[in-house]
Every structure is written in C-alpha cells, then in structure tokens.
Amino acid sequence: MTPYSSLAAFLAHYRALESSHNLSPNERSLLAEMENLIDSTGPEARALLDSDWANDAAGARRRERTERALRRALLERGALTG
C-alpha cells in the first residue's frame, strides 16, 4: 500500500473504493487491505467511520477515538506519512 499523507486522504480513498461498483482486481485487493486495517482498531470501527454522527455528541466522541486509533494503526504499519 502506498502511504497516505493524512488520515483524511486514507478515508477519502477508502470511501471512494467502497462506493464504486466497478473495481479492478488491484482495487478490490487494496480495499480489502484497507478494511483489514480499519477492522484492526476494533469491532465497530468501520460502522462508526461509515456513519454520520454529527448530531450525536457521544457518537462523535466515539468516532474521534476510532479515528485516533486508526491513525495510530496506520502510522505503525507505514500507511501514513504524517
């Protein structure tokens, strides 16, 4: 996986791949790798990242914690450069 410059860039690419219906085999493989990284932060990580928690303060805090955990995991695995 090519390192991303930020968590926002990683998540934008993840969401673009996830919403696409015509993925190449390489893109499917990358999406699976990204999903594994996200899932490594906890069982509800993907659901929290894929949901809109803007109107729920407790949900927003959970999402922020999940994003911090994902950022740490990506940094440890060399998937983030900054």
pLDDT digits (tens, 9 = 90+) for 10-63: 999 999 999 999 999 999 999 999 999 888 888 778 777 777 655 678 877 888
CB 77, CB 53: distance < 8 Å: no
- 17-22: Cβ within 8 A, 24+ apart: 18/50
Of residues 1 and 76, more confidently modeled: 76
What pLDDT was estimated at residue 16? 94
pTM attached to this predicted model: 0.84
What pLDDT was estimated at residue 54? 56
**Which alpha helices (H) appear in the chain, and where do they start and end?**
7-19, 25-39, 45-50, 57-76
Q: Which two tokens stand for residue 47?
A: 């659901």
Q: Which two tokens stand for residue 20?
A: 């696409």
